[in-house]
């Protein structure tokens, strides 16, 4: 079994320097702010990226606008919510607002802050009361002071004045490292699990650090898990299954997907599974993996008699052992969500004529059987990923972002319950629907979603 590297002298010294020199926040024994059921702290909501809110009680007969914040340019990153505060980056600034009312300020950004970045994440800390806002930039991740009232009107550069620490594939530092040459991928956003920030660096390293100061707990070079002697393993996604304490990394070797399981506690290699070549040498990257209750679900491609088909595969998180496989005839993959009993897949169906509609399928977690399917005569939302924003399971509703807004389906049978649609003026004097540009983030009785030139908080009758 391969063992991950331990923290070096550079990491330890840099972590101590960050702790002593930060100057903001107060010492405390417990992690603060404390996590709550209304939090949505990372892309995919939880370490397994299931996008599932079990106790949500959203209306089945439609939603109203509780609050809205307009912008002159979209460029939204997916919102995160912690301790009742929404952090949402757009093209020219960072919204830091109350999830219930939408009240709050915008920190106008000039320079590189939030630009070319992946989705943000939030972690509690034991040293600072306000936690840390995590922003991935290419091969680097920054940890910023998160205090909602502490954000200035203007953030210049890459926010060095608010940065507590930086990490990359090699270690931790108090100054920005290299690695800003390429945009961060959606799946490059950090996962926060059991008080540890787990990051996938595009140069082929997985790191686990403390959110207090970026101090390194372990680091693993994926080259050691590569089953191919000739071609490199290119990382594309990662999740954490908290039931087994396993970090699962998805990558590609030339044209074939490879999955790697690492121990969350110390980064040791647990298993490697190579799935073989796929049609067109294609490995689905965006929003193509989730983990829950000791099981991993991954999306790939398979052969079909009539058209292209996605393949959803079940694996055991502890061993990498394969379970059921479910093909679905889809022309494109958008994303999926997982609750206690069901995997919900959203993709695009190739139409004989006209626009390609959205195809939704509910798949039984027990045996991979299809419970129901539904076709939505609409296109996926934005260009956040290749296919568009992934769905959200909120109580008994499945929320599907689209070009026309947001659709709500019943999880029991796929019944279309409501569609939220607003319009915006065009340069030609007409109107068009505001497209959903982020996933639907559910926090308590609010749905927070970024759309064309507008950030919305949706709820029941605007209360």
Compute the distance between CA of residue 446 and CA of residue 67 in angstroms, rounded to an integer. Answer: 10
Q: Is 141 within the bounds of a domain?
A: yes
- How many other C-beta atoms lie within 10 A of the C-beta of residue 101? 12
Instruction: Please tell me the total number of residues recorded for the chain in this structure.
Output: 463
Q: Which residues of 196-215 are buried (b: 16+ CB within 10 A; e: fewer)?
A: bbbbbbbebbbbbbbbbbbb
- Res 278: pLDDT: 55
The total number of structural domains in the chain stands at 1
The neighbouring-strand residues paired with 137 are 117, 140
Place of tokens 């830091």: 96
Residue 41 lies in a domain: no
Q: Is residue 32 one of the residues assigned to a domain?
A: no
Residue 425 pLDDT: 87
CA dist 121 and 119 (Å) reads: 7
Does 27 fall in a domain?
no
- Please list the residues that pair with 351 across neighbouring strands: none
Cβ-based neighbours of 430, under 8 Å, separated by 6 or more: none
Q: What pLDDT was estimated at residue 183?
A: 57
Per residue in 261-293, pLDDT (tens digit) is 999 999 999 999 986 655 545 667 778 999 999
Asked if residue 279 is part of any domain, the answer here is yes
Q: What is the pLDDT of residue 16?
A: 35
Residue 68 has a pLDDT of 97
Under-70 pLDDT residues of the chain: 1-29, 178-187, 275-283, 303-307, 383-387, 461-463
Query: Which residue, among 224, 25, 202, has the nearest Cα to 125 in the 3D structure?
Result: 25
DSSP 9: H
Which pLDDT value is given to residue 373?
98
**CA 424-334-412 angle, 5° bins:** 95
CA-angle at 81, arms to 75 and 85, nearest 5°: 100
Decide: 286 and 387 in contact? Cβ < 8 Å: yes
- The answer to the question of residue 6 being in a domain is no
pLDDT tens-digit readout, 89-123 = 999 999 999 999 999 999 999 888 888 888 999 99
Asked if 132 and 122 touch (Cβ cutoff 8 Å), the reply is yes
pLDDT at 283: 67
Query: Which domain covers residue 268, as residue numbers?
Result: 52-459
- Residue 227 inside a domain? The answer is yes
The percent helix, strand, coil of the chain (3-state, each to 5) is 5, 45, 50
What is the CATH number for 114? 2.130.10.10
Residue 14 lies in a domain: no
Nearest residue to 97 (alpha-carbon basis) of 66, 73, 125: 66
């Amino acid at each position: 079994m391969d063992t991950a590297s331990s923290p070096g002298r550079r990491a330890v010294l840099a972590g101590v320097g960050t702790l002593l020199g930060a100057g903001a926040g107060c010492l405390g024994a417990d992690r603060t702010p404390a996590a709550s059921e209304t939090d949505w702290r990372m892309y995919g909501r939880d370490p397994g990226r299931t996008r599932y809110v079990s106790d949500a009680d959203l209306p089945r007969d439609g939603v109203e606008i509780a609050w809205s914040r307009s912008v002159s340019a979209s460029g939204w990153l997916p919102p995160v919510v912690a301790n009742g505060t929404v952090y949402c980056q757009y093209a020219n600034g960072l919204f830091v607002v109350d999830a219930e009312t939408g009240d709050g300020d915008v920190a106008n950004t000039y320079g590189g802050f939030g630009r070319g970045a992946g989705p943000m994440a939030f972690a509690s800390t034991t040293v600072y009361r306000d936690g840390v806002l995590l922003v991935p930039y290419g091969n680097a991740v920054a940890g910023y002071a998160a205090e909602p009232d502490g954000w200035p009107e203007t953030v210049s550069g890459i926010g060095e004045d608010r940065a507590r620490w930086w990490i990359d594939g090699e270690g931790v530092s108090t100054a920005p490292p290299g690695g800003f040459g390429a945009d961060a991928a959606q799946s490059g956003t950090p996962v926060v699990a059991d008080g540890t920030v787990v990051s996938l660096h595009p140069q082929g390293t997985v790191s686990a650090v403390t959110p207090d100061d970026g101090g390194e707990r372990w680091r693993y070079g994926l080259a050691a898990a590569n089953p191919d002697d000739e071609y490199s393993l290119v990382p594309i996604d990662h999740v954490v299954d908290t039931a087994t304490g396993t970090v699962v990394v998805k990558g590609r070797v030339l044209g074939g997907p490879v999955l790697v399981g690492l121990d969350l506690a110390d980064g040791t290699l647990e298993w490697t599974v190579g799935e073989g070549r796929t049609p067109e040498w294609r490995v689905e990257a965006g929003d193509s993996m989730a983990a829950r209750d000791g099981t991993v679900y991954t999306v790939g491609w398979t052969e079909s008699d009539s058209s292209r088909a996605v393949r959803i595969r079940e694996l055991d998180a502890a061993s990498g052992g394969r379970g059921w496989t479910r093909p679905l005839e889809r022309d494109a993959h958008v994303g999926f969500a997982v609750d206690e009993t069901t995997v919900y897949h959203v993709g695009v169906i190739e139409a004989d004529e006209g626009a390609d509609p959205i195809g939704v399928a509910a798949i039984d977690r027990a045996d991979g059987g299809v419970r129901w399917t539904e076709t939505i005569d609409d296109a996926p939302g934005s260009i956040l990923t290749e296919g568009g924003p992934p769905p959200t399971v909120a109580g008994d509703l499945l929320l599907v972002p689209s070009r026309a807004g947001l659709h709500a389906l019943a999880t029991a049978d796929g019944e279309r319950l409501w569609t939220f649609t607003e319009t915006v003026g065009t340069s030609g004097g007409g109107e068009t629907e505001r497209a959903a540009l982020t996933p639907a983030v559910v926090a308590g009785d609010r749905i927070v979603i970024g759309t064309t030139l507008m950030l919305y908080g949706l709820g029941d009758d605007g209360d």
